[in-house]
Amino acid sequence: MSKAPSLDDLRRYAIARSLFKPTTLPQAINKLGFVQADPIRAPARAQDLTLRHRVRDYRAGDLERRYPKLDVEEDCLVNYGFLPRQHLSLLHPREAKRAWDAKTRQRAAAIRAFIAEQGPSHPRLVQQHFDLGRSTNAWGGSGNATTKLLDGMHYRGLLRVTHREQGQRIYAHVEHSDDPRSPQQKAEALLGLVLAKYAPLPSRSLGQLASLLGYGAPHLRAQTRHMLQTARQLWPSVDIDGQRWYWPEGEQPRAARWRLDEELRLLAPFDPVVWDRLRFEQFWGWAYRFEAYTPPAKRKLGYYALPLLWRGEVLGWANASVDDGELHLQCGFVAGQAPRDPAFKAALERETERFSVFLGLASA
């Protein structure tokens, strides 16, 4: 019998399997299965910060520029982002927790018919034909009711995003194909998708992800709960200090293929390597927090702190900014100071140069 993996093995495995050798943009998205999106640009959006480590010669904005020609969709899984189009049949038809009333359904049907006839449409064009006034959003503020309805139609699979214009979604009519798999098979496939993206996962985090699938696949909540119980009995796992860890069938966390390199990487707050905060603390012994929505006086790491990964350790973080066309990094370290190893300084300089090229501030 082979030796059970240790926590160090799982940490190395988590990093190496997620930070795979850079490939093409379509292949990287397929390997990841899902790329979380976020509108904050500090100094680039989360989806771009995630992809730059995994796509050859990636530049900020490449995903948005190339999106219309990719077999990729803006949609929801455990949160909002981009995923291979092949997965949409697992998620649709989708129904929201709160059903529309008859008046809203009539409005949605009219807008959908208009877009089907008009073709890809900017929300402004829809607004000109269907002025629905203002509505209250989830935070108690006021917003454009037409925009809110378009968002709801997209979530329900009545529309798709064809591309963006200055950040605005351009919507088109869509008909989703039927999926012959049973609800149980769909739930199993979705659980496998999130495990493959975030593995290895502690049991509690796996349960959290299964619960978050209720956002992307609310129609499969019951099946997901049931299949999670079955999956926990079938997936490879190990118990470490009373915590059960899971990973995909066929992978060996202790295998020699999971090797770490000498490169330093500044990771997005939602990068798969650091996304699970419970796993982060168990791997690296400190708590990383995303503080963009924390009052400035209460921030400890900064507005958009990027975890700093080197030689298998997250040693600290950096807040990146651009001033007069030059990238500036303000770094903080868990130990209170940067490593004195000259190799660290050289690695940070290489990462700074790569980051500058990614942002278009320097040439490769």
The residue out of 173, 190, 205 marking a domain boundary is: 173
Percent of the chain with pLDDT over 90: 90
- Looking at the domain assignment, is residue 342 inside a domain? yes
- Looking at the domain assignment, is residue 134 inside a domain? yes
332 Cα distance to chain centroid: 25
Q: What is the pLDDT of residues 132-168, one digit of tens each?
A: 665 555 545 445 888 999 999 999 999 999 999 988 9
Q: Whole-model pTM? A: 0.93
The two tokens of residue 120 are 């890809």
What is the Cα–Cα distance from 299 to 10, expressed in whole angstroms?
30
Q: What is the mean pLDDT of the chain?
A: 94
The residue out of 173, 190, 215 marking a domain boundary is: 173
What is the Cα–Cα distance from 104 to 316, expressed in whole angstroms?
49
Domain that holds residue 313: 265-358
103: domain CATH number? 1.10.10.10
295 Cα distance to chain centroid: 24
Residue 323: pLDDT band with limits 50, 70, 90: very high
- Looking at the domain assignment, is residue 335 inside a domain? yes
Q: What is the pLDDT of residues 39-66, one digit of tens each?
A: 999 999 999 999 999 999 999 999 999 9
> What amino acid occupies position 274?
V
What is the Cα–Cα distance from 363 to 360, expressed in whole angstroms?
7
Count Cα atoms within 13 angstroms, Cβ side, for 266. 30
- Looking at the domain assignment, is residue 46 inside a domain? no
* CA-wise closest residue to 70 among 150, 161, 153: 161
Count of domains observed in the chain? 2
Is residue 364 pLDDT above 50, yes or no? yes
The residue out of 147, 173, 199 marking a domain boundary is: 173
- Looking at the domain assignment, is residue 227 inside a domain? no
Q: What is the pLDDT of residues 177-200, one digit of tens each?
A: 889 999 999 999 999 999 999 999
Q: What is the pLDDT of residues 85-124, one digit of tens each?
A: 999 999 998 988 889 999 999 999 999 999 999 999 999 9
Give strand pairing partners of 265: 309
| Core vs surface per residue 281-295: b (16+ CB within 10 A) or e | ebbbeeebebbeeee
Encode 114-166 in three state secondary structure.
HHHHHCCECHHHHHHHCCCCEEECCCCCEEEHHHHHHHHHHHCCCEEEEEEEC
Is residue 28 pLDDT above 60, yes or no? yes
